[in-house]
Structure 1
Amino acid sequence: MTSEKARADFKIALLAVALAGLAAGIGLSLAGKAELARTAWAAGVTPVLVALVVEIVRSLLRREVGLDVVAALSMSAALAFGETLAAAVVALMYSGGTFLESFAEGRARREMHDLLSRVPRTATRHSDGALEEIPLDEIVPGDLLLIRQGDVAPVDGKVESVRAVLDQSAMTGESMPVRLARGQEVMSGSTNAGEAFDMRASRRAAESTYAGIVRLVEDAQRSKAPMSRLADRYSILFLVVTVTLAAAAWWMTGDPIRAVAVLVVATPCPLILAVPVALVAGLSRAAHFGVLIKGARPLEALAQARTLVLDKTGTLTDGRPQIVSIETCAALPAEEVLHLAAAADQASKHPMAQAIVAAALTKGVVLSVPTDIREIPGEGVAARIGGRSVVVGGRDFVMRGIGVPVVPHKGSEEGSATVSVAVDGQLVGNLILADPLRAETAEFLAGIRRHGINRILLATGDRHAVAEAVTEGLDLDGIRAELTPDQKVLLILSERKNGPVMMVGDGVNDAPALAAADIGVAMGARGAAASAEAADVVLLIDDLSRLISGLNVASQSRWIALESVVAGIGLSIAGMIAAALGYLTPVQGSLLQEAIDVAVILNALRALRISSDRPRRGIEPLQTAAVGHVP
């Protein structure tokens, strides 16, 4: 940050020197002191020219040639042939352009710097009936933290109070606060917009969503776009054209001032800054919508993707089992069946048991404490709940547990599972759990095709029958099931014949495919750290429609950058021809080029106003499962 500030201060100093020299020279000229005026203009140009030459030498050592060479030639030629006023205008243009670049990039990174500046330093932890303020590094999973009104959640965790109201705008771009019930997940970096609540930490600070986002932001800020390198390569051709046209104008007319005028008009140094300004503005705008793109290269690749490969679990689906219905087989109501099952399952860490407990807590059920617990891993749990004997688990396990012969059952549909519940030796109900499609899936697929995606495939490790059942009715071009991680990579590589491939996933097993794809997209809110590290784009909230926002920002930012380059260079060439024909003096040419460069950089800043291009809908707490009665 110190070096960035030093560079910014240096650019301001150069601008001040160039402006002071130009203003002093104009004042002296109006006072009739022409010789002193030329001296003042030359004095204002010299520091800028020296700094420019130093930068050119550094670029050449990196084997890069940019259009800064044209600016150095124009200033040098103008000074050599006595056109000191034109040289002073070019110096002001160059220094002003670099300052405008610094200002533009600073504004474009505003959302990213906001993320960095919001990092909390301490947390409030419950300890032996008291509260203590501790550094973030001391937080361990399982700690009970107090999140006061206005506090930023320091780590990922789960709500332990009845409810919590969180402002996630800095993380996701959503303006409406989110209401969370007991047991629901809190994203680190969210601000408590309601009353104080307790949160159970689930990760250490260094492993939390917010810390990962900060690391990704820092990586994104250090990238350089291929379009910038492409512009540098074309700058050699532009340099040759400029020097050739200037030499031809001098040779054909015998007037060296014609050559100076051509060089002055061809000084598009700030013009090339329009490319990184547009792309950095695009990165910032995408972050505003909850899409973290790890640099300008991925932003360009995102805009050019033509094939989309989607993982199923955690991407098309929520990734966690949920109760979709409750069958009751006795006089007990469905709510009581859920209560008893959840109370017993508090003793188990099985994903289905945790899903049942979470569903009960979300409905506000107060769970009794189980006793006499006996768990068979992978099978089920037996416990006593308020004097009742409760058995919860697979149907065979439950029937054996109550000493009843296993009888045929209609079973679960593909993609779902049944958890049976018995109380005091009698089967009382079945909980049907499934990993349903995300609500926005169909709308997402339709929307993403409008952004140039021609082919959409599902790639999953699940059985083919499950994949087909879950995705029935979706607009997919193919389903590839029972794939291992290396087979997913082969699928990505084989699909490249149809154009650049984008892969969306969330698990550790998706990381190789995300790295192999032209553009890898990770579901970052709950996805594995490995997938977020391997991916080029991270969705900061589990909402696929965010990717449509990212595609829209990427394509429009790239178009704005190209538009700025084509328009700026086109206008510069037209001005060069006019100067070669004698229609522009060096001073007039420098003023024209100043206007062109400022215009294209301001045009590049339009990327900060790109819309999300996705439907707006309110964020609501997770809905409780539907409860039905089957006689």
Structure 2
Amino acid sequence: MKTPTSDVIAALGAKEVVIAVMAVAAIGIHLVLRFGVAATGAVFGLPAQEIPLLVALACGVPLVVDLATHMVRGEFSSDLLAGISIVTSVVLGEYLAGTLVVLMLSGGQALEAFAVRRASFALEALAKRLPALAHRKTDGDVADVPLAEIAVGDALVVFPHETCPVDGVVLEGRSTMNESYLTGEPYLLPKATGSAVLSGAVNGDGALTIRAEKTAVDSRYAKIMQVMRESEQRRPRLRRLGDQLGAVYTPLAIALAVLAWAFSGDASRFLAVLVVATPCPLLIAIPVAIIGSISLAARRGVIIKDPAVLELIDTCRVAIFDKTGTLTYGQPKLTEILPAHGFTKDETLGAVASLERYSRHPLASAMIDAAAEAKLPLQEAGEVSERPGEGLRGVIGGRTIQVTSRKKLALQSPTAAEPLPPLSGGLECVVLIDGRYAATFRFRDEPRAEGMSFVRHLKPQHGFDRVLLVSGDRETEVRYLAEKVGVTEVYSSQSPEQKLALVRQETSRANTVFMGDGINDAPALTAATVGIAFGQGSDVTAEAAGVVILDSSLERVDELLHIGRRMRSIALQSAVGGMGLSLIGMLIAAAGYLPPVAGAISQEVIDVLAVLNAMRAAVTPRTLSDYQTRPPAG
């Protein structure tokens, strides 16, 4: 039986976890035997306290073999020099130092394996979100059946707050469904007889009977899973900062050690150079800077799930935004009231808001909020009804109020639709008072207040070359938002497959940041160099992204960019500075003036200096976000 713990171990990499645990245990036993026992004796001529370390080093043999394989292929990194350091420590009898390197190497590889498995976790979360069973209705009886047994034409019951199992059409019932994670539309959509429903959408308070239009494997949710799986399989491997530095440092250190041995004829110089060259500034200082920055980000409400994000985000040059919930609040607002002749804005808004208190329509709260903001008193309503196809109807102050759509009004009373204003982007509803057209209400998902300042801040302050807006929403809505926030490159009506293709195309040219909040964004989040998920609305999105912004704030994204830049700067200072000091020590050792023991001590001093500098990454600087206080560029 699988447990959460076993899942985590499998994700981390069983071999690396076992080796890391063995190394920790060996170090602990060594310290107890060395400092906690008066006399420990000897085994095979070795002090007893050294035996656990030798066992741990033996467990590290597979790691060394893997690194040797990489060297044969011509792949040089900081890990390779760590492997040589392990072998050198055994030759020198520095077993504790070798065991520490084994621990760092295995622990780092385990964490990297965990990061690689992120997309798989997202797939698992995606699969868990869809129900395993559907409620099939046959001759009035309802029975639970596996999704695989659902056929096109089956009648299925979707109970309140359940996830819709397949794509279909409503046969009976009325409710609302949250499709925002699938379509990018920010609203709860009303569902009645004849309405289309999507697999993966979450039902509201009413039960629905639907007719399956597609099988489970052909439905929208399954298609997103398929795209997500493809995105995981084709995700490119990104070079980490330590690997980039190690690719230069490792062959240089090996070459210097070999030359010292060749010219002097003294093998101890080879060992001395390698001891000084042990890449602790790469193996320790960079992770310390990353861990400190992860802690700093967490205190700011930014959860770093993939440590590589902090190394890469400052190198990103293309910012790609989803619309709903990222650059917008994801909540419709009443933006315009167009009253007909003989009616006023306050008159129609007060009447409609009084009636909408009795409705569960997704736009009801927007009208009630607008009335409260205008300080309009709400009246009691009578004879309230909300029948399918008729809209909301009721009596307010002796007058009959009806709230409906342009399309429904045209069907009910073609003459009443004639004076309506022309169509525009966004959502709208039509208001009739005593059968006369009274007003048109228009709604928008408004951009975040800081949106324009943030977008304009990206290029001059963070070095982004391009900013793109990509959405599954309609072109009029997307372009309306783009104009509001100052984005010129716009892609509308994008499916998850199209978003993925676009992100993959952009990432092939330059490192990218993708920001989104819905399940339909998950494949793109995985494919981008850095994926940033907004809020906690979807576990699938959170798993697919490398970063989760808990309070859905653009200011937090700006702080993340600052933290990433600062981390990279501190990590480079620590690593390059430490490597520079090590290089000086290697030259002295190569000249014969620094024996192995003194070299090891010198390396420890260098390590301490590098780590102390790296620890600055955890300290909160005076400012992390300044885009709101600066005038926008241009």
TM range (shorter): 0.5 to 0.7
Shift of 1:515: 3.6
Unpaired runs of 5+ residues, structure 1, are 29-35, 80-86, 107-139, 144-200, 203-222, 619-631
1:266 to 269, 277, 286: 277
| Alignment-mate amino acid for residue 389 of structure 1 | T
Q: Deviations over 1:275-295 (max 9, x none)?
A: 333333333333333333331
- Which letter does structure 1 place at the counterpart of 2:600? S
Q: 1:562 & 1:245 partners in 2: Cα distance? A: 28
CA contact (8 A) 2:57 2:99 kept: no
Q: Deviations over 1:507-534 (max 9, x none)?
A: 44434433443333333344x5554444
Match of 2:616 in 1: 606
Contact 2:272 2:590 in 1 (8 A): yes
Q: Call closer, same or farther: CA 1:260–1:396 in 2, change over 3 Å.
A: closer
Letter paired with 2:582: S
Q: Return the alpha-carbon distance in structure 1 between the equivalents of residues 46 and 577 of structure 2.
A: 31
1:440 paired residue among 434, 444, 450: 450
* Residue 361 to residue 11, structure 1, CA distance change in 2 (3 Å): farther
For residue 387 of structure 2, give the secondary structure of its aligned residue in structure 1: strand
**Counterpart for residue 401 of structure 2:** 390
Counterpart for residue 65 of structure 2: 60
Runs of 5+ unmatched residues, structure 2? 10-16, 71-78, 112-158, 163-203, 206-236, 630-634
2:374 equivalent to 1:373: no
**1:6 to 1:582, Cα distance in 2 relative to 1, 3 A:** closer
Query: SS state of the match for residue 608, structure 2?
Result: helix
In the alignment, residue 551 of structure 2 is paired with which amino acid?
I
Separation in 1 of the partners of 2:299 and 2:381?
Answer: 44
Deviation at 1:500, TM superposition (A): 2.0
User: Within 1, Cα distance between the matches of 2:550 and 2:471?
Assistant: 22
> Shift in Å at residue 613 of structure 1?
2.6
Q: TM-score if structure 2 supplies the norm length? A: 0.62
| 1:575 Cα offset (Å) | 0.8
1:581-619 alpha-carbon deviations (Å, 9 max, x no partner): 23224332222111111222233332223556324989x
- Equivalent residues in 2 for 1:22-41, closer than 5 Å: none
Match of 1:14 among 7, 20, 27: 27
Q: Is the 8 A contact 2:30 2:49 kept in 1?
A: yes
Which of 258, 262, 266 does residue 244 from structure 1 map onto?
Answer: 258
What displacement does 1:447 show? 2.1
Whether contact under 8 Å (2:86, 2:98) holds in the other structure is no
Match of 1:295, SS state, is coil
Asked if 1:304 corresponds to 2:312, the answer is no
Closer/same/farther in 2, CA of residues 227 and 493 from structure 1, 3 Å limit = same
SS state at 1:275 partner: helix
Q: How many aligned positions are there?
A: 483
Q: Distance in 2 between the 1:13 and 1:515 partners? A: 38
Measure the CA separation in 1 of the matches of 2:628 and 2:383: 44
Deviation (angstroms), 1:539: 2.4
Q: Give the corresponding residue for 1:353.
A: 364
Would the aligned equivalents of 1:274 and 1:565 in 2 still touch at CA under 8 Å? yes
Deviation at 1:459, TM superposition (A): 2.5
Root mean square deviation, CA, Å: 4.9
Per-residue CA distance 1:78-112 (angstroms, 9 max, x = gap): 44xxxxxxx4xx8369649969999xx99xxxxxx
In structure 1, what is the Cα distance between the partners aligned to 2:238 and 2:523?
A: 24
Equivalent-residue separation in structure 2 for 1:19 and 1:337 (angstroms): 81
Instruction: State the shift of 1:305 in Å.
Output: 1.5
* SS of alignment partner, residue 571 of structure 2: helix
Aligned to 2:123: none
Check if 1:292 corresponds to 2:298: no
What does residue 549 of structure 2 align with? 539
Identity of aligned residues (%): 30
For 2:358 and 2:340, locate their aligned partners in 1 and report how far apart those are by CA, in whole Å: 24
Aligned to 2:178: none
Show CA shifts across 1:115-155 (max 9, x none): xxxxxxxxxxxxxxxxxxxxxxxxx9889xxxxxxxxxxxx
Taking the aligned partners of 1:230 and 1:602, their CA distance within structure 2 comes to 22
Structure 1 residue 269, shift from structure 2 partner: 4.5
> Is residue 324 from structure 1 mapped to residue 335 from structure 2 by the alignment?
yes
CA distance in 2, matches of 1:434, 1:66: 56
Which string of whole-angstrom CA distances, capped at 9 and with x for unpartnered residues, describes residues 157-176 of structure 1? xxxxxxxxxxxxxxxxxxxx
Alignment match, 1:578: 588
Contact 1:568 1:600 in 2 (8 A): yes
**Partners in 2 of 1:44 and 1:12 — Cα distance?**
12
What is the rounded CA distance, in whole Å, between the counterparts of 1:572 and 1:420 in structure 2?
75
Give the residue type in structure 2 aligned to 1:375: R
**Amino acid in the other structure paired with 1:293:** I
Change in Cα spacing, 1:287 to 1:558, as seen in structure 2 (3 Å) is same
Normalization by structure 1: what TM-score?
A: 0.62
CA distance in 2, matches of 1:243, 1:564: 23
CA displacement at 1:543 relative to structure 2: 1.7
SS state at 1:596 partner: helix
